[in-house]
Every structure is written in C-alpha cells, then in structure tokens.
C-alpha cells in the first residue's frame, strides 16, 4: 500500500528550507549553529510553526539515532547558558528520554500499538470507505488546508514542527475520526526522527490514552496564532471537531524494572554491532572496548508493515555508513538481515558481540532474534544517561523533570571529548 502525497506544497514561501545531511559532522554543525538560540529566544518562539522552522533546533533526526547524543546536546547548551535560562530546551531533550524510559518499562504498550496497526491494516483491506479517507489524509487531500499542508510537508521533507505534529494528530483522530494507530504509523514511516517511544506515546497523549482521559484538541485560533496566520482561521473554525472522545484502551500496565547495565569479557574476540538507535559508540570505547570486527544493523524498514519512506531508508542507511567511516575500521556494509549478522559473527570467529542497548522498537526486536540465532552472548551496555533517567519514568513527566539537574550531572559519564 502506498500513500505518497501527490501535490506540491502550496506556496513557495511555505517550502521548508531543510537539508538533513546524514553525517555526525552535520549534526554537530547544526548544534553549534543553534546553541546561541537555545535560551530565552527558544522559550519565547519555539511553538511557532513557520517556513524553514527558524525557532527550533531541527536536531531531532540526529539525536533520535544518537549520532549526536542527548548528553552532547545538553553539554553544548550549558556551555552557553545557565540551566535556568535554557530550561525549556533542556526539558524538550528530556521529554524524548522520558518517553523512551516510559515505554521501556511498559513494552506491552508497544506490542498493543503494533497490533492496532495490523487491525487498521486489515480494516483498510475490507472497508473501502475507511481506505478512501485514510488515503486522502495521507495524500493531503482532505480539504482541511493546514492538515493537507502538513501531510505533504511530512512526506516531502521527513520532518514536521512539533506543534504541527500535535495539531495533525488531533485532526486525524478527532475531526477525521481515523484510527490513531494508523496515524502514528504514518508518522513513523515518514519522519526522519521517527522514534517508537516518542511517536507512539505522543499520539497516545493526543488521544487521551497516555494521561488517561486528557485529550488534546486542535483549535483554529491556536493554529492561526502559531502559524502567523498562514491558514484561513475562519474556514478552519467550521471544520475542526469540538468533541474529543477517548478511544477504548486497557489500563496502563505496571512498570517493569529498568534494564541493568552489562559488561563484557576482556581478552576474547569481540565484535561491535552498532544499530539505528545508537550510532556513536563513544561510551563503549571509554569503557575499554577493543573490537576486532564492526558491523551495523539497520532496521528502518521494520518500522511498519506498510512501505517505509525512501527518505527514511536512505537517511538511516547513510548515517550507518557514516558511522563506519568515522570508526576508520574494517566495517562491513550496513546489514538489515539477522541471518547475515549471524554469518558476520561466525566468519569473524567472534566469542561475543557488544552492542549499545536498544530500547523497545524494531532494532530491539531484531537484536532479540539475533540473540536466539547465536551461540555466543550479545552484551548490551546501557548509557549512563539512560541509567540515571529511566528509573524516574514511571508515571508523568514531572517525576523526571525534578531530576533534570541530576541528569545533567551524568553528562561527563555519558560522553567523551
């Protein structure tokens, strides 16, 4: 099933001037350019969705793949600003950490989401009316001007402003009455920063499932204010839903314990396996990792049972290739097949594999299958950032928010110069 948008963005001035070069250097350059804006200017203007997205960092595609890490990002900002001045930006970085920790401790929510996507997929195959409405939404042909604009922007650029993501999700669910799982899937297939935790839980939050019963409703006045009047608010006011029913859902499962850190045996043949969720193994080398072979597992096509965007596939693969080049080692071509990774380990005569800890999502699913396919251990060390944050991701964000000063103290442990 394909859902590519068929129309260009409406106005030349609305075409975002974004160029996400898939290298660590490009991510660091973007961080350096943004850092001076991360203080009060960011706090005042971050909610404005304007062409070119001048008031946000646009770092998320790099942070999502840990080409640039959360610790590096916060360290660069704290080199310029006091924590109180950069509070809003630091909190935004920590929201991503919170979502990852929350889902890591409730993996059944990810399993339920995937099952919901499959149910939606089956309905699309049997309900022609739903399929027409879904296709119109994915193509940006609903007649709701800002929604259609954002659908096309997402497909064409792989990016949306966070405020636009919230408005879009609200309109998808509450106005168009489409299944939320299919909307979350649409985002995950097209976003360069598509993250299983942040994406799934953000959609659940808009639906009223994350904070039970508390929905998010897109309002014409709010869209008009934060897009600087780019869309016809009068027309939009007659199109948007005023009621936001909450979908049926099971109670939140109790949180399981956060993962323990892991260490590897020294003095044996060790392979390093990078992956889409962490492509900067600085913390492993700081712990003394000496790998005789290196490979990269890519799993972007596993984000969805539908076709994943070519932008996403090419971006993640290029990031993997850049990681190999940066390491300067005999690193094989990025591999997506578990059997091929197993063959690589056997050919290299490895006694163990060390891989950055992968949270809940497609990479984790493949690593679990790799574990079952090998007769050698796959060791998954956890970053200090996650070790310090995830114990506090049990309920709402506020519990982690109180610990942000402590989390900032973990930065030296999580990164090397």
The CATH number covering residue 74 comes to 1.25.40
CATH number at residue 313: 3.40.50.620
Annotated ligand binding at 97? The verdict is yes
Annotated ligand binding at 42? The verdict is yes
Annotated ligand binding at 398? The verdict is no
81 and 162 both lie in a single domain: no
* Element housing 353 (H / E): strand 352-354
207 and 117 both lie in a single domain: yes
Say how far apart CA 348 and CA 351 lie, in whole Å: 9
Annotated ligand binding at 180? The verdict is no
Which pLDDT score, from 0 to 100, does residue 213 have? 82
Annotated ligand binding at 159? The verdict is no
Note whether 377 and 350 are within 8 A (CB).
no
Note whether 169 and 183 are within 8 A (CB).
yes
Read off φ and ψ for residue 284, nearest 5 degrees: -75, -40
299 and 202 both lie in a single domain: no
Annotated ligand binding at 96? The verdict is yes
Count up the domains in the chain and report the number.
3
Q: Span 89-116, mean pLDDT? A: 98
335 and 397 both lie in a single domain: no
218: its two tokens: 């897109």
Annotated ligand binding at 224? The verdict is no
142 and 204 both lie in a single domain: yes
Which pLDDT score, from 0 to 100, does residue 247 have? 83
Say how far apart CA 412 and CA 384 lie, in whole Å: 9
219 and 278 both lie in a single domain: no
285 and 223 both lie in a single domain: no
Q: Span 177-183, mean pLDDT? A: 98
130 and 21 both lie in a single domain: no
126 and 225 both lie in a single domain: yes
88 and 137 both lie in a single domain: no
Annotated ligand binding at 413? The verdict is no
Show the domain range for 396: 17-104+390-414
Annotated ligand binding at 364? The verdict is no
Q: Span 196-222, mean pLDDT? A: 94
Read off φ and ψ for residue 328, nearest 5 degrees: 65, 30
100 and 138 both lie in a single domain: no
| pTM of model > 0.85 | yes
In a domain, residue 249? The reply is: no
Answer yes or no: is pLDDT of 332 > 80. no
Residue 91: CB atoms within 10 A of its CB come to: 15
* Element housing 398 (H / E): helix 397-401
Annotated ligand binding at 288? The verdict is no
Note whether 386 and 97 are within 8 A (CB).
yes
Burial call 247-270: b when 16+ CB within 10 Å, e when fewer: eebeeeeebeebbeeeebeeeeeb
125: its two tokens: 């195959």
100 and 114 both lie in a single domain: no
In a domain, residue 11? The reply is: no
Annotated ligand binding at 396? The verdict is no
With tokens 């690593």, the residue in question is 367
Q: Span 213-220, mean pLDDT? A: 92
């Amino acid at each position: 099933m394909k859902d590519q948008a068929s129309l260009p963005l409406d106005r030349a001035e609305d075409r975002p001037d974004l160029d996400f070069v898939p290298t660590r250097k490009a991510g660091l350059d973007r961080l350096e350019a943004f850092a001076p804006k991360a203080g009060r200017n960011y706090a005042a203007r971050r909610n404005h969705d304007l062409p070119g997205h001048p008031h946000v960092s646009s770092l998320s595609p790099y942070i999502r793949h840990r080409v640039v890490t959360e610790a590096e990002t916060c360290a660069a900002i704290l080199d310029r600003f006091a924590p109180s001045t950069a509070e809003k930006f630091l909190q935004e970085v920590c929201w991503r950490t919170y979502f990852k920790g929350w889902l890591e401790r409730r993996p059944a929510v990810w399993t339920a989401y995937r099952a919901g996507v499959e149910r939606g997929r089956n309905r699309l195959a049997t309900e022609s009316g739903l399929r027409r409405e879904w296709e119109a939404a994915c193509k940006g042909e609903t007649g709701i001007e800002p929604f259609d604009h954002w659908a096309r922007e997402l497909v064409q650029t792989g990016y949306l402003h966070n405020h636009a993501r919230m408005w879009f999700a609200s309109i998808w669910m509450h106005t168009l009455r489409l299944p939320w799982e299919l909307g979350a899937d649409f985002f995950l297939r097209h976003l360069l920063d598509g993250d299983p935790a942040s994406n799934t839980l953000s959609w659940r939050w808009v639906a009223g499932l994350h904070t039970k019963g508390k929905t998010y409703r897109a309002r014409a006045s709010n869209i008009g204010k934060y897009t600087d009047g780019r869309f016809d608010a009068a027309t939009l006011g007659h199109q948007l839903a005023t009621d936001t029913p909450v979908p049926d859902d099971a109670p939140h499962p109790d949180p399981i314990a956060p993962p323990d850190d892991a260490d590897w045996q020294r003095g044996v043949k060790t392979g390093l396996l990078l992956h889409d969720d962490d492509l900067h193994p600085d913390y492993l080398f700081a712990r003394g990792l000496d790998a005789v072979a290196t490979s990269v597992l890519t799993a972007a096509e596993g984000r969805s049972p539908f076709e994943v965007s070519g932008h996403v596939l090419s971006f993640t693969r290029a990031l993997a290739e850049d990681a190999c080049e940066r390491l300067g080692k005999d690193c094989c071509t990025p591999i997506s097949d578990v059997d091929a990774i197993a063959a690589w380990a056997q050919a290299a005569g490895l006694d163990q594999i060390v891989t950055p800890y992968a949270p809940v999502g497609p990479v984790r699913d493949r690593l679990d299958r790799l574990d079952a396919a090998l007769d050698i251990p796959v060791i998954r060390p956890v970053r200090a950032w996650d070790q310090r944050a995830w114990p506090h991701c049990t309920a709402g964000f506020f519990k982690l928010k109180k610990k942000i000063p402590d989390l900032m103290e973990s930065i030296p442990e999580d990164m090397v110069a």
